[in-house]
């Protein structure tokens, strides 16, 4: 076996992934566009306005999907991390690493849309509501993961360290959620409007579900593209290493 | 006792350091690792100690303690001495004797000529004395396999002699020694294993 | 003496000899608690009301200062490699070192808390809860800290990164520690329910964190 093969071997031959990604991506992108257009149309022109909240209820159609993706993003990372720790599959590393910034973005968007929604509803941009607080803590977990990836130079080591942290985090998320709920019930301010009133009417629920599906597809489009970029980045790195080694060998032979 | 290494492959930072490395050694023998920098001498020793997982191949110690891993049956001496500066020479050895299990502190001090320093805090020792304290672990706790990575660094001629005596004694008593060294240790090793920069052996 | 106990004994002896970590943590604790009234104003009623929160947050910060040292020194001087070749699995090594950290830092901080509570006019009936909840919560702080220290071992800026990784994981300890204290001071929620959850969190952390820490240590021996 030559050195180049050995180096490429570490990617567990991602050719199949690359092929798969380029087959799926156009279809998935198309599906995302259709769902997004349909969902936005239904949300803005068909769904009724809330008698209490008026126009502002429209934020819900993007806020709720963002919040859902914030959690799904972390689940993707946690599952990929288990794959990378147990099977040491390099593609699992790539999946976990690339999902983190995307998930963090959706988490931040959920926080921003949540606080924009909060302004007309609560009269303030931020309330220490149990949901907002636990999403904020989730955002910190994302930041920690990304910082750890950045701090460790060697990709395989960084991958496994981040995987350990991600799994610890996923064990902790329910505990954090539980404790924040507990904390909130102790300090509950009376003025907060409760969102979960009567069951959501289908004229709102259907656009909401379509929007959620659209953004979920968008997540995977972005994730596949990011994974493809990461594979290419690592391939460039591997080629550079073989180049350096080859140069070293000829210099050694000359000397 | 027999140590067998079969088709060992080591990958570090995306590079194959060595591949298809095989050798075997019996108790009462020593192997000297030679090769240029970056040929994987240190990596091989760390792999034998169990710090680095092997990318392929296997390492097997026959006739040792089947309950314990190879790492628990070997001494590893790397570039760092593993000496606590705030503890005295005696206390350093006392901790290792307790932690690693048994051992005669007095004879370990004697083997590396540290008796007169035994109550000095290790932080005050010179580089050579601290190295000797690090090496005294070898004589302190009895373990069959010694993995030595440049053990003679910062030792003067006299101390080097103490080290070579310790190595010879260990080999004659039926131990195994694998050492990577630039400077000759003054010990007759039964085999030399050459590692090349190209990853072949 | 078993290997586990000898490792704890050595760490305690080193902490005692080197001394710096304990006094820095205690000094930091004092300064943080003392500087907050300067920002909040000297209203004793206000301070008494928020004293549990201040004492707990300051304790977390003071403990964070020292947790990144848990493995750092042993890693730097090569001791960790030799410890790894000992009879103790790395899980127990991590547990032993976290225990030593708790004894050398967690307990002194817990004992200093009532003195600082005087500065904040904490109601007298809350003093025993303060010590009890902190004695219960600090092991979780040490063990989670050991996990963070193992993950960031050998990295530059390790301390700052460690804070980012670990502080979100500390929130349950903080919430239930403060909740148990408030239950006694102001009510109406029962003390025992918060306190028992705090116990459960600590127990789970003490069991699970060393496993993750050992996995991270293995990476660093590579």
| Cβ-contact B62, B133 below 8 angstroms | no
B173 belongs to a structural domain: yes
- From A6, A249, A252, residue closest to B11, measured CB to CB: A6
| Cβ-contact B140, B167 below 8 angstroms | no
Q: Kind of pairing, strands B29-34 and B191-194?
A: parallel
Q: How far apart are the first and last CA of chain B?
A: 24
pLDDT of residue A250: 73
- Helix runs in chain A, H state only: 3-9, 15-41, 60-86, 90-122, 130-151, 155-187, 202-254
pLDDT of residue C204: 95
> Is it the case that residue B101 has pLDDT exceeding 60?
yes
B201 belongs to a structural domain: no
| Boundaries of domain holding B155 | 2-194
Give the Å distances, CA to CA, from C51 to B28, C30, C34, C48, C135: 68, 13, 11, 5, 17
pLDDT band, residue C196 (cuts 50/70/90): very high
Listed residue (B45, B46, B54) closest to B20, CA to CA: B54
pLDDT of residue A184: 77
**Residue B51 forms contact with C (CB below 8 Å):** yes
How many other β-carbons are positioned within 10 Å of the β-carbon of residue A1?
Answer: 12
Region of poorest pLDDT, from B15-29, C94-108, C162-176: B15-29
Contact A6 B19 (CB under 8 A): yes
Q: Over the stretch B27-51, which tens digit does the pLDDT of each residue have?
A: 888 888 888 887 888 889 999 998 9
State the total domains in chain B. Answer: 1
DSSP lists the bridge partners of residue B176 as: B29, B145
Residues of chain A that touch chain C, judged by Cβ-Cβ distance less than 8 Å: 85, 137, 140-141, 143-144, 147-148, 151-152, 157, 160-161, 164-165, 167-169, 171-172, 175-176, 178-180, 182-183, 186
pLDDT of residue C40: 87
pLDDT of residue B103: 81
Sheet with B145-149: strands ordered across: B74-77, B145-149, B176-180, B29-34, B191-194
- From B15, B197, B198, residue closest to A7, measured CB to CB: B15
Q: Where are the beta strands (DSSP E) in chain B?
A: 2-12, 15-26, 29-34, 56-62, 74-77, 145-149, 176-180, 191-194
pLDDT of residue B56: 87
For residue B19, what is the nearest residue in chain A, using CA coordinates?
A: A1
**Residue C41 forms contact with B (CB below 8 Å):** no
pLDDT band, residue C33 (cuts 50/70/90): very high
Q: What is the ipTM of this complex?
A: 0.88
Subunits with at least 3 CB pairs below 8 A relative to chain C?
Answer: A, B
Q: How far apart are the first and last CA of chain A?
A: 25
pLDDT of residue B199: 46
pLDDT of residue A9: 45
pLDDT band, residue B105 (cuts 50/70/90): confident
For chains A and C, what is the number of CB pairs under 8 angstroms? 73
Contact C222 B52 (CB under 8 A): yes
Mean pLDDT, residues C124-128: 87
Mean pLDDT, residues C77-97: 92
Contact B75 C85 (CB under 8 A): yes
> Is it the case that residue B130 has pLDDT exceeding 50?
yes
Chain A hits for C212, CB-CB cut-off 8 Å, are: 164, 167-168
| Boundaries of domain holding C83 | 2-221
For residue A187, what is the nearest residue in chain C, using CA coordinates?
A: C179
Chain B hits for C86, CB-CB cut-off 8 Å, are: 72, 99-101
Residue B166 backbone phi and psi in degrees, to 5: -60, -40
Chain C hits for B101, CB-CB cut-off 8 Å, are: 3, 86-87
Contact A1 B19 (CB under 8 A): yes
What is the DSSP-derived secondary structure letter of residue A51?
A: T
Contact B99 C14 (CB under 8 A): no
| Cβ-contact C214, C91 below 8 angstroms | yes
pLDDT of residue A196: 52
In chain A, which stretches have pLDDT less than 70?
1-13, 50-53, 187-200, 251-255
Chain position carrying tokens 């502002």 = A56
| Cβ-contact C104, C62 below 8 angstroms | no
**Residue C157 forms contact with B (CB below 8 Å):** no
For chains A and B, what is the number of CB pairs under 8 angstroms? 26
Q: pLDDT exceeding 70 applies to what percent of chain B?
A: 98
State the total domains in chain C. Answer: 1
The domain that holds B113 is classified in CATH as 3.40.50.300
Count the helices and strands in chain B (H runs, E runs): 5, 8
């Amino acid at each position: 076996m030559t050195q180049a093969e050995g180096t490429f071997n570490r990617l567990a031959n991602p050719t199949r992934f690359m092929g798969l990604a380029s087959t799926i991506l156009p279809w998935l992108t198309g599906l995302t566009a259709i769902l997004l257009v349909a969902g936005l149309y239904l949300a803005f022109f068909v769904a009724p306005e809330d008698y209490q909240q008026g126009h502002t209820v429209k934020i819900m159609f993007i806020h709720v999907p963002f919040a859902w993706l914030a959690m799904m993003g972390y689940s993707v990372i946690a599952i990929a991390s288990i794959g990378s720790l147990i099977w040491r599959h390099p593609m699992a590393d790539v999946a976990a690493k690339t999902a983190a910034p995307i998930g963090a973005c959706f988490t931040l968007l959920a926080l921003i849309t949540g606080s924009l929604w909060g302004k007309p509803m609560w009269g303030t941009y931020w309330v220490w509501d149990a949901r907002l607080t636990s999403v904020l803590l989730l955002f910190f977990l994302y930041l920690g993961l990304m910082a750890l990836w950045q701090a460790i130079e060697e990709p395989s080591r960084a991958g496994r360290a981040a995987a350990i942290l991600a799994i610890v985090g996923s064990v902790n998320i329910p505990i954090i959620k539980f404790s924040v709920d507990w904390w909130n019930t102790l300090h509950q301010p009376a003025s907060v409007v409760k969102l979960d009133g009567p069951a959501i009417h289908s004229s709102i629920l259907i656009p909401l579900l379509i929007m959620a599906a659209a953004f979920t597809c968008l997540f995977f489009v972005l994730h596949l593209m990011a994974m493809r970029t990461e594979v290419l980045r690592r391939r460039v790195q591997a080629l550079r290493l073989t180049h350096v080694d080859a140069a070293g060998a000829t210099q050694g032979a000359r000397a | 006792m027999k140590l067998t290494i079969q088709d060992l492959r080591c990958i570090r930072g995306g590079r194959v350091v060595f591949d298809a490395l095989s050798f075997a050694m019996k108790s009462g023998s020593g192997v000297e690792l030679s090769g240029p920098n970056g040929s994987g001498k240190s990596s091989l020793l760390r792999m034998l100690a169990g710090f680095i997982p092997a990318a392929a191949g296997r390492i097997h110690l026959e006739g040792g303690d089947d309950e314990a891993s190879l790492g628990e049956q070997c001494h590893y001496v790397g570039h760092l001495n593993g000496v606590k500066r705030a503890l005295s020479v005696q206390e350093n050895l006392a901790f290792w004797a307790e932690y690693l299990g048994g051992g005669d502190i007095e004879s370990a001090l004697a083997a590396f000529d540290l008796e007169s320093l035994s109550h000095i805090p290790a932080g005050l020792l010179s580089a050579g004395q601290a190295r000797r304290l690090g090496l005294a672990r070898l004589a302190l706790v009895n373990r069959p396999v010694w993995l030595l990575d440049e053990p003679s660094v910062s030792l003067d001629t006299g101390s080097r002699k103490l080290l070579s005596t310790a190595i010879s004694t260990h080999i004659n008593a039926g131990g195994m020694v694998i050492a990577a060294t630039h400077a000759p240790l003054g010990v007759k090793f039964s085999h030399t294993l050459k590692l090349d920069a190209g990853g072949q052996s | 003496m078993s290997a586990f106990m000898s490792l704890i004994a050595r760490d305690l002896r080193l902490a005692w000899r080197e001394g710096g970590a304990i006094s820095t943590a205690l000094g930091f604790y004092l300064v943080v608690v003392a500087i907050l009234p300067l920002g909040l104003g000297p209203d004793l009623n206000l301070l008494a009301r928020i004293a549990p929160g201040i004492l707990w947050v300051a304790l977390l910060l003071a403990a964070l200062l020292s947790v990144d040292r848990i493995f750092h020194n042993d890693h730097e001087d090569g001791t960790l490699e030799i410890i790894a070749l000992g009879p103790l699995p790395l899980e127990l090594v991590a547990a032993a070192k976290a225990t030593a950290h708790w004894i050398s830092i967690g307990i002194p901080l817990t004992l200093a808390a009532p003195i600082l509570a005087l500065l904040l006019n904490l109601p007298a009936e809350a003093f025993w809860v303060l010590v009890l909840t902190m004695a219960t919560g600090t092991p979780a702080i040490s063990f989670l800290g050991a996990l963070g220290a193992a993950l960031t071992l050998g990295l530059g800026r390790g301390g700052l990164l460690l804070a980012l990784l670990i502080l979100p994981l500390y929130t349950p300890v903080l919430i239930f520690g403060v909740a148990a204290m408030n239950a006694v001071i102001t009510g109406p929620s029962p003390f025992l329910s918060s306190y028992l959850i705090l116990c459960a969190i600590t127990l789970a952390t003490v069991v699970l964190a060393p496993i993750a820490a050992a996995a991270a240590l293995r990476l660093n021996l590579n």
